[in-house]
Amino acid sequence: MQGLYLVTGAAGFVGEHLVRHLHSKGIAVRAMVRKASQAAALEPYAEVIIADITQPETLPAAMQGISGVYHVAALFRQANVPDKAFHDVNVAGVQNVFEAAIAAGVPRIVHCSTNGVHSHVANPPGDETMPFNPGDLYQESKIAGENIAMSFFKSGQISGAVLRPAMIYGPGDTRTLKLFRMIAQKKFFYVGKGLALTHWIDVRDLAEAFVLAMQATQINAEAYLIGGDRYMTLKDTVQEISRQLNVPEPGLHLPTGPVMALAHVTETLCKPFGIEPPLFPRRVSFFLKNRAFDISKARAQLGFKPKQDFSGEVADIIKDYSERGYLTPS
291: nearest Cα among 149, 143, 165, 157:
165
Domain containing residue 103: 4-174+199-231+292-307
> What confidence score (pLDDT) does residue 130 get?
96
pLDDT digits over 296-326, tens only?
A: 999 999 999 999 999 999 999 999 999 999 9
> What confidence score (pLDDT) does residue 221 get?
98
- CB 97, CB 8: distance < 8 Å: yes
Question: Alpha helices of 37-90 — where are they, by DSSP H?
Answer: 59-63, 83-87
> What confidence score (pLDDT) does residue 79 get?
56
103 occurs within a structural domain: yes
CA pair distance 166, 226, nearest whole angstrom: 6
42 occurs within a structural domain: yes
281 pLDDT higher than 80: no
> What confidence score (pLDDT) does residue 276 get?
75
| Amino acid identity at 251 | G
CATH number of the domain bearing residue 86: 3.40.50.720
Domain count for the chain: 1
280 occurs within a structural domain: no
193 occurs within a structural domain: no
> What confidence score (pLDDT) does residue 316 get?
98
> What confidence score (pLDDT) does residue 277 get?
77
85 occurs within a structural domain: yes
pTM confidence score? 0.94
> What confidence score (pLDDT) does residue 279 get?
73
101 occurs within a structural domain: yes
pLDDT averaged over every residue in the chain: 94
pLDDT digits over 196-215, tens only?
A: 999 999 999 999 999 999 99
